[in-house]
Chains A and B, each alone.
Chain A
């Protein structure tokens, strides 16, 4: 194993040396069609932030409708045009808003923006590689994602509106333009964009996996990898196995929509005529969709597990508690994530026996998740905590993950899901556990690795203001949604006032909307801090957080190839913080045991 590593590294290094001789990349090669993983990571980050603001803005518009259902919104006419009819938001556009909010946040921000940024940036830097296994494929991955983004963005502006059948695009609603106007051109663009998006994810994923397996520096065994790399590695495997299934689901939907097949359609009478489609199964799509869809939520949350573990260990100045248990629980979660998809379908009329099997498998996931939470708590215990902005986001991540994760135990129980399915309880659950928590993990990563990305520090004070406003509004928005959900308020409702049963909680809904607007406004502080610090932030040192991992052994602004000289060799695991007997409270991974005799544990004495 190690011998292969060495020879591969030599190859890469060799290629790099040659490259150095004619170092005359033009602007396009360097910043636009770059094959450097760090530039591609930044491209994904900028795209992710852009999409985050778009997705957030859409949610503010529909929160206005939900908070003040009786109000008129003529003031939105300048931006929404004909979607405001007589001062009222068009109900189909409302559905398009929630659909696009979901699609954008789940796929474009928390999948591409998160994995794209941090897997790309950190994998080569933390495992000690010059670059990704294939820089060219990596570049293609971004630009195909860019194309997907452009198409999805265009769909927001077409006359019939963007896709409006929910982000899960269940047919027949998404298959029949007669059913909802968003299923016309908007849905076609959605499908084309998602197909391209999947290609981009696969190109990226293959690269991440190959790089982690083959390009680790000398001494970097799998059990010396930082947890971030384990998380990105497993995320990429999940994506590689599950995205093709979504691709086939989308392809069959394209056939049903455009070529008259009946994979998902049967016995339909709509717009005054009975359709010829027969023999299809609408439930088939749901099975295919959720076979991706459930691993997808772990694709969103796993990278943040890694990021948060790393940041908590670094800033508690303590080794992560139970390193192997952390890896084991991530492996367990990844494996289980493939066999729980039908818990999204308990009330679709699926055989009840399947329901009991999926309930059992779903609730097992609580065990590895609980282990992770306990380990994070144990890492904080008796630490010497430095409250950097990243650390604040990491602590808040754990809090949000607990709050959102626990209600999963209720929803995973098929008997309880009957009443709660498709209500605001579900909205509250997944927004806390994979929405807010994943966003907090992403912010945590941005604040933590900003100095390595841009050579400058983000402003800490502004970071704290951003953090506190965001943390407060995350809870103020999503906690009350549990109450509304227990009362049975269905999701994707334009207004609840038509029902006697749902005619309560109007004040609470206005309150949630106000909190959401506050949370969105707080992100402008982040945006300012981010852009300002890229150009004017305080200059960073090479290792500002006193961290152990390899990326901090590079120069302040690592160039193409990451390390100017030889790639450092790794001797120890990444979590030797506050080791008794050591001079400093951290020992970087590239420090050999021979140099740290005073702090070596008994079994480490004879190691290199």
Chain B
């Protein structure tokens, strides 16, 4: 019954709107405004040009207000060295394009208002002016050149080779979570291959490789403050993307093609908690490449410790194979031979 009533009232509303529209059309025919060339009628020209001007003023004000209002939420707390470079380059570029934005929008709407049709006027025949065109081609070219140079410098610094003493963390994406492996005391990650993956050995580590014996797989990433951290990133199924919003870090995890990204964290989790006034604050890892049903839920925690705390945490970790010794039975002599064959190819891939 209610659906019927709603349906009926919608139909009635549409009929009323249609009648209003017909009346308006007929009235305009009687007023004779249909006799004039389209777009030269006084009222609609006035109304539209005035609305354009109002749009500029009202829209500009709304933009300014909403921008200021969202400022706090917009800026994620920053906790890496290169993040300071990209943030400052971002806001510098924003100011440059902001200036262009304001000038061009004002001219666009102001001209539209100012040069609205008048019966007694004629437009100014002005097909081109080479001088002015060269000037306004050169200005953006110079500005772009400056931005390109600034971008190059930042990009080259960020993507340069990681320092040799960087803390190495392997991050592996899978549907729909992250797996993490540390190289252990020897500083070397053992080999891995999808062929070794099972319910326990989710990262497919080859435990016949001596380097793998001290590798451990914690449930959180821990990194020391102020030291370079090298993420070695891979995926075992579809493409994922490691995103650390607070560190301005993003790099795809691609099956079959290991990638990497290094950064230097500048604030510990504890420092960030007191700075933001949020005792629950945690650095998070998110996925930014569509990977399926659980794409939006690939959350992982990253903790930045003071270097001493980090050493303590490191010492408290036990190698994965010690926790799961039954895995070793899988790596019999036969599989070792097979591994040796695959080794050369794998080496090329894991060598970063």
Find chain B residues with CB under 8 A from A27 CB: none
> Closest Cβ of chain A: how far from B288's Cβ, in Å?
4
Interface residues of A in 313-329 (CB under 8 A from B): 315-325
A403 to B260 CA separation, bound complex (whole angstroms): 34
Q: Which of A319, A407, A421 contacts B125 (CB 8 A)?
A: A319
> Closest Cβ of chain A: how far from B157's Cβ, in Å?
9
**Smallest Cβ-Cβ distance to B14: which chain A residue:** A528
A487 to B284 CA separation, bound complex (whole angstroms): 14
Q: Does A569 contact B (CB under 8 A)?
A: no
Whether the pair A544, B38 counts as a contact (CB closer than 8 A) is: yes
A282 to B238 CA separation, bound complex (whole angstroms): 9
Once A388-B38, A577-B123 are accepted as A-B contacts, the answer to whether A490 and B148 lie under 8 Å apart by CB is: no
Q: Does A81 contact B (CB under 8 A)?
A: no
Stretch at the interface among A148-156, A206-214, A239-247, A578-586: A578-586
**Smallest Cβ-Cβ distance to B59: which chain A residue:** A475
A414 to B204 CA separation, bound complex (whole angstroms): 33
A412 to B75 CA separation, bound complex (whole angstroms): 21
Q: Does B246 contact A (CB under 8 A)?
A: yes
Whether the pair A384, B118 counts as a contact (CB closer than 8 A) is: yes
Q: Which of A281, A380, A418 contacts B112 (CB 8 A)?
A: A380
Most chain B beta-carbon neighbours within 10 Å: one of A367, A421, A475, A502: A367
Find chain B residues with CB under 8 A from A28 CB: none
What 1/0 flags go to B247-269 for Cβ under 8 Å of A?
01111101111111000000000
Once A180-B293, A418-B86, A494-B296 are accepted as A-B contacts, the answer to whether A403 and B123 lie under 8 Å apart by CB is: no
Whether the pair A319, B127 counts as a contact (CB closer than 8 A) is: yes
Find chain A residues with CB under 8 A from B241 CB: 347, 421-422
A487 to B105 CA separation, bound complex (whole angstroms): 25
Interface residues of B in 29-87 (CB under 8 A from A): 34, 37-40, 44-45, 47-49, 51-52, 55, 59, 63, 66-67, 70, 73-76, 83, 85-86
Q: Does A486 contact B (CB under 8 A)?
A: yes
A407 to B96 CA separation, bound complex (whole angstroms): 11
Once A91-B293, A267-B236, A500-B280 are accepted as A-B contacts, the answer to whether A359 and B256 lie under 8 Å apart by CB is: no
Once A95-B292, A359-B151, A383-B115 are accepted as A-B contacts, the answer to whether A352 and B126 lie under 8 Å apart by CB is: no
**Smallest Cβ-Cβ distance to B251: which chain A residue:** A347
What 1/0 flags go to A561-587 for Cβ under 8 Å of B?
000000000000001011110000100
Stretch at the interface among B132-140, B162-170, B321-329: B132-140
- A interface bracket (residues with beta carbon within 8 Å of B): 35 or more
Interface residues of A in 392-427 (CB under 8 A from B): 392, 395, 398-399, 402-403, 406-407, 409-410, 413-416, 418-419, 421-423
A531 to B117 CA separation, bound complex (whole angstroms): 30
Whether the pair B112, A385 counts as a contact (CB closer than 8 A) is: yes
Find chain B residues with CB under 8 A from A316 CB: 115, 123
Whether the pair A377, B286 counts as a contact (CB closer than 8 A) is: no
Find chain B residues with CB under 8 A from A494 CB: 295-296
**Smallest Cβ-Cβ distance to B242: which chain A residue:** A347
> Closest Cβ of chain B: how far from A170's Cβ, in Å?
6
Stretch at the interface among B181-189, B192-200, B210-218, B333-341: B192-200
**Smallest Cβ-Cβ distance to B121: which chain A residue:** A384
Find chain A residues with CB under 8 A from B127 CB: 319-323, 575
Whether the pair B70, A505 counts as a contact (CB closer than 8 A) is: yes
Once A359-B148, A498-B296, A580-B125 are accepted as A-B contacts, the answer to whether A384 and B117 lie under 8 Å apart by CB is: yes
Whether the pair A406, B97 counts as a contact (CB closer than 8 A) is: yes
A382 to B118 CA separation, bound complex (whole angstroms): 12
Whether the pair B290, A173 counts as a contact (CB closer than 8 A) is: yes
Q: Does A488 contact B (CB under 8 A)?
A: yes
Whether the pair A578, B125 counts as a contact (CB closer than 8 A) is: yes
Q: Does A16 contact B (CB under 8 A)?
A: no
A370 to B155 CA separation, bound complex (whole angstroms): 25
Whether the pair B123, A578 counts as a contact (CB closer than 8 A) is: yes
Q: Which of B37, B55, B121, B243 contacts A488 (CB 8 A)?
A: B243
Whether the pair B238, A173 counts as a contact (CB closer than 8 A) is: yes
**Smallest Cβ-Cβ distance to A418: which chain B residue:** B250
Q: Does A280 contact B (CB under 8 A)?
A: yes
A505 to B40 CA separation, bound complex (whole angstroms): 45
Q: Does A457 contact B (CB under 8 A)?
A: yes
Find chain B residues with CB under 8 A from A317 CB: 122-123
Whether the pair B124, A352 counts as a contact (CB closer than 8 A) is: no
A416 to B86 CA separation, bound complex (whole angstroms): 6
> Closest Cβ of chain A: how far from B7's Cβ, in Å?
14
Q: Does A269 contact B (CB under 8 A)?
A: yes
Interface residues of B in 274-297 (CB under 8 A from A): 280-282, 284, 286-297
Whether the pair A577, B93 counts as a contact (CB closer than 8 A) is: no
A383 to B28 CA separation, bound complex (whole angstroms): 27
A371 to B49 CA separation, bound complex (whole angstroms): 25
Find chain A residues with CB under 8 A from B155 CB: 352, 355-356, 359, 413-415
Once A269-B236, A349-B252, A421-B250 are accepted as A-B contacts, the answer to whether A480 and B66 lie under 8 Å apart by CB is: yes
Q: Does A165 contact B (CB under 8 A)?
A: yes
Whether the pair B290, A172 counts as a contact (CB closer than 8 A) is: no
A158 to B64 CA separation, bound complex (whole angstroms): 46
Find chain B residues with CB under 8 A from A415 CB: 85-86, 89, 151, 154-155, 158
Q: Does B111 contact A (CB under 8 A)?
A: yes
Q: Which of A278, A349, A486, A488 contacts B254 (CB 8 A)?
A: A349
**Smallest Cβ-Cβ distance to B254: which chain A residue:** A282
Find chain A residues with CB under 8 A from B125 CB: 318-319, 577-580
What 1/0 flags go to A451-472 for Cβ under 8 Å of B?
0000001011110100010011
Q: Does B318 contact A (CB under 8 A)?
A: no
Q: Does B177 contact A (CB under 8 A)?
A: no
Q: Does B317 contact A (CB under 8 A)?
A: no
**Smallest Cβ-Cβ distance to A374: which chain B residue:** B136
Find chain B residues with CB under 8 A from A325 CB: 128, 133, 137
Q: Does A46 contact B (CB under 8 A)?
A: no
A267 to B116 CA separation, bound complex (whole angstroms): 64
Q: Does A495 contact B (CB under 8 A)?
A: yes
**Smallest Cβ-Cβ distance to A391: which chain B residue:** B39
**Smallest Cβ-Cβ distance to B149: which chain A residue:** A360
> Closest Cβ of chain B: how far from A217's Cβ, in Å?
23
Whether the pair B252, A269 counts as a contact (CB closer than 8 A) is: no
Q: Which of B28, B74, B126, B195 contacts A319 (CB 8 A)?
A: B126
**Smallest Cβ-Cβ distance to B145: which chain A residue:** A363
Whether the pair B295, A386 counts as a contact (CB closer than 8 A) is: no
A386 to B116 CA separation, bound complex (whole angstroms): 7
**Smallest Cβ-Cβ distance to B48: which chain A residue:** A387
> Closest Cβ of chain B: how far from A404's Cβ, in Å?
11
Once A406-B100, A468-B51, A483-B74 are accepted as A-B contacts, the answer to whether A95 and B293 lie under 8 Å apart by CB is: yes
Q: Which of A269, A279, A356, A406 contacts B101 (CB 8 A)?
A: A406
Whether the pair B108, A398 counts as a contact (CB closer than 8 A) is: yes
Known: A269-B237, A499-B286, A505-B70. 14 other contacts (CB 8 A): A173-B238, A321-B128, A323-B128, A349-B260, A359-B151, A371-B140, A399-B108, A410-B93, A413-B148, A422-B288, A464-B47, A488-B245, A578-B124, A580-B125
7 pairs from A and B in contact (CB 8 Å cutoff): A95-B295, A165-B290, A318-B126, A324-B128, A348-B252, A416-B86, A461-B21
Report the 3 A-B pairs with minimum CB-CB distance, sorted nearest first.
Answer: A386-B39, A266-B256, A349-B259
Interface of B toward A, CB cutoff 8 Å: 21, 24-25, 28, 34, 37-40, 44-45, 47-49, 51-52, 55, 59, 63, 66-67, 70, 73-76, 83, 85-86, 89-90, 93-94, 96-97, 100-101, 104-105, 107-109, 111-112, 115-118, 121-129, 132-133, 136-137, 140-141, 144, 147-148, 151-152, 154-156, 158-159, 175, 193-195, 197, 204, 233, 236-239, 241, 243, 245-246, 248-252, 254-260, 280-282, 284, 286-297, 299
